[in-house]
Amino acid sequence: MHLLHTKGSQEVYQGKQWSCLNIWIFLCFFPRTFVSNASKPNILLILADDLGIGDVGCYGNDTIRTPNIDSLAKEGVKLTQHVAAAAVCTPSRAAFLTGRYPIRSGMASSTERRILFWNGCSGGLPPNETTFARILHQQGYSTALVGKWHLGVNCKSRYDHCHHPLNHGFDYFYGMPSTLLNECQGTDEPELAKSLQDTYWLYTQIIILAVLTLLIGKLTNLFSVKWKIIICLAIYGFLYFISWFSSYGFTKYWNCILMRNHDITEQPMKLDKITSNMLKEAVSFIERNKHRPFLLFVSLLHVHTPLITTEKFLGRSRHGLYGDNVEEMDWMVGRLLDVINKKGLKNTTFIYFASDHGGSLEAHSGNAQLGGWNGIYKGGKGMGGWEGGIRVPGIIRWPGVLPADIVINELTSLMDIFPTVIQLAGGAVPQDRVIDGRSLLPLLQGTVQHSEHQFMFHYCGVFLHAVRWHQKDSGTVWKAHYTTPVFQPKDSGACFRRGICPCFGDGITHHDPPLLFDLSQDPSEANPLSADTEPLFDTIIRRIGKAVEEHHKTLTPVPQQLSYYNNMWKPWLQPCCGTFPTCWCDKESSKAEDIL
């Protein structure tokens, strides 16, 4: 159970342990055909934001209280090698919903901006990508998203909602189209502004200079340049200017908004009520749909900064505000489990809990920890290659169908949820594109010992930083790092100054030959192997290199959703309650409350 405490000792890959007694018992009591027997279960997916694997009791934390999440593991399956496809929100969530590496959908960034920054930008999950929600909807499920989306809103105009959850297979949406930011609260150091203001202002100046130069050149006939180019550049400069301007004080109005379906209900959103409102929405969706199969994706705002915590939980944990927030999140999970139990849905509901990527090491305020803890794993949020950025908790419960209190150490991915829930719903995965996830059911059922994943590619933006190889015959899990960020834990190394580690440029190191680790012996990635210490070194590197080559052949160019242009604030795309630019509303609270 206490994997995270086994530092130094070896992490046991239990595939073989599984195979003896457990599988035997399991096969006797659970027929292989259970999936068709227990057809179309309800599906409840709970995804935490920025939660570290070391923050959870059943993953070895003995000072933070997460009894509800632990109970899920006790009554279900705990995955210990569960890996996100990216170490930041937007691409990881795109991969989760589509079962595909973010680079396939254009959701992996080639710039330093790796998440969508604005509700009013034109990037987002392309409408021609297929989410599991869309397929489950086609299979007769009632589908809802409650919470954070962060995969875009509009393409061309304010109301086209081309990237909106309702255009991606969800029948119901209540939550934030964007993400929580310190700006939403307004008391902490601005988060978005910090990472943007300098570059926005710099680009604005460069473009103004360029436009002036071209203009003078043209007017004095010094050189010829088309008006079209000058005008385009001027518009570009203007956009940068207003983005720069907006990031001072307006972010709250532009990004911190709450929507119900296509309507904005709060702009800016009220943080003190969001937790109870989200719970209310999730619970009433379950109640409304208890007689039909439903898919409910609860995409928690916890435990992202600014760590919105209700009074009841403040000061309760032993880990400051961060710990309070984690414990509140666990309480929310408990409330959801209560409703499932009370409505008699326990045995007919497949529940999944995970985090979108590792905890953020950079989130600090003085000495106070504001980000998650990744246990024995190196690195954290933003680091696409190191385990701490991508290895997350993953728990699945389905009583009566899946075994209880089982640990699976096989290689699994958040992308596996896509084919898994589609299989549960009796649907088929799209055949016209590459799907990288693999159904978890055979592994959960115990009909196979090993997951289908042999290689897994760990990207940082569009840059391949590391690759892991589960060598099936030896059971070893190798990991080769081609690129690592320059990062020193526990001091103000490069990443800390930038807020997040870069994927390219001067903040990274290339490795040739790659840094190789044996994750099965060295899960903390502390002891790189070499040709001297590992006789098979060259063979392993060559084999992994070949897999990379084959993987590259499956990639096709797609429009870049996180390009500078697509990730820029555009006034004509800004969701607005009222008449732009005076966007304000509060449709949630009743009049009576307002008077009080």
Positions annotated as catalytic residues are 89, 150
* Min separation Cβ 521 and ligand NAG, Å: 21
Nearer to ligand NAG, 556 or 579 (CB): 556
**Cβ contact 331:313 at 8 Å:** yes
H or E stretch covering 145: strand 142-148
Cα 19 to Cα 15: distance, rounded to the nearest angstrom: 6
Closest CA to 88 of 416, 383, 457, 458: 383
Nearer to ligand NAG, 399 or 545 (CB): 399
Q: Which residues does 232 contact at the CB level (< 8 Å), separation at least 6?
A: none
CA distance 54 to 60: 7
Using left for φ > 0, alpha for ψ between -120 and 50, and beta otherwise, residue 115 falls in: beta
At CA 587, angle to CA 582 and CA 589, rounded to 5? 125
Q: Which residues pair with 147 in a beta bridge?
A: 175, 299
In the bound state with ligand NAG, the residue whose beta carbon lies nearer, of 323 and 388, is 323
How, if at all, do strands 263-267 and 258-260 pair? antiparallel
Rounded Cα distance between 207 and 233, Å, is 7
**Least spacing, CB of residue 347 vs ligand NAG, in Å:** 4
Task: State the Cα–Cα distance between residues 104 and 240, nearest whole angstrom.
Answer: 28
Q: Which is nearer to ligand NAG, 165 or 375 (CB)?
A: 375
User: Helices 192-219 and 227-246: crossing angle, nearest 10°?
Assistant: 150
Q: Identify the three-state secondary structure at position 418.
A: helix
Nearer to ligand NAG, 260 or 319 (CB): 319
Count of Cβ atoms closer than 10 Å to residue 536 Cβ: 16
Least CB distance from residue 484 to ligand NAG, whole Å? 24
Three-state SS for 353?
strand
* Contact set with ligand NAG (CB under 6 A): 4, 54-55, 60-64, 126, 128-129, 319, 322-323, 347, 369, 372-373, 375, 399-400, 433, 558-559
Q: Which is nearer to ligand NAG, 55 or 70 (CB)?
A: 55
Q: How far apart are CA 89 and CA 84, in angstroms?
A: 10
Pairwise CA distance, residues 175 & 274, whole Å: 9
Residue 62 vs 311, nearer CB to ligand NAG: 62
Pairing of strands 582-583, 578-579: antiparallel
Smallest distance from ligand NAG to CB 389, Å: 16
The residue (of 197 and 365) whose beta carbon lies closer to ligand NAG is 365
* Minimum separation from the CB atom of position 57 to ligand NAG (A): 9
Kindly write down the DSSP assignment for every residue of 10-65, as one continuous string: PPP-THHHHHTHHHHHHHHHS-TTHHHHS-S-EEEEEEESS--GGGSGGGT-SSS-
Which amino acid would we find at residue 425?
A: A
Q: Kindly tell me the burial class for residue 384, based on how many C-beta atoms sit within 10 Å of its own C-beta (0-12, 13-18, 19 or more).
A: buried
Is residue 73 within 8 Å of residue 395, measured between CB atoms? yes
Minimum CB distance to ligand NAG smaller for 380 or for 385: 380
Question: By CB neighbour count within 10 A (0-12 exposed, 13-18 middle, 19+ buried), where does 19 fall?
Answer: middle
Report the distance separating Cα 75 and Cα 402, nearest Å.
9
Shortest distance, CB of residue 342 to ligand NAG, whole angstroms? Answer: 13
Least distance to ligand NAG, CB of residue 218, Å: 35
Least Å distance, CB 304 to ligand NAG, is 14
Nearest approach in angstroms of CB 410 to ligand NAG is: 23
Cα 530 from Cα 458, distance rounded (Å) = 21
Extract the tokens encoding 322.
């961060």
CB of 326 to ligand NAG, least distance (A): 7
Q: Closer CB to ligand NAG, residue 225 or residue 558? A: 558
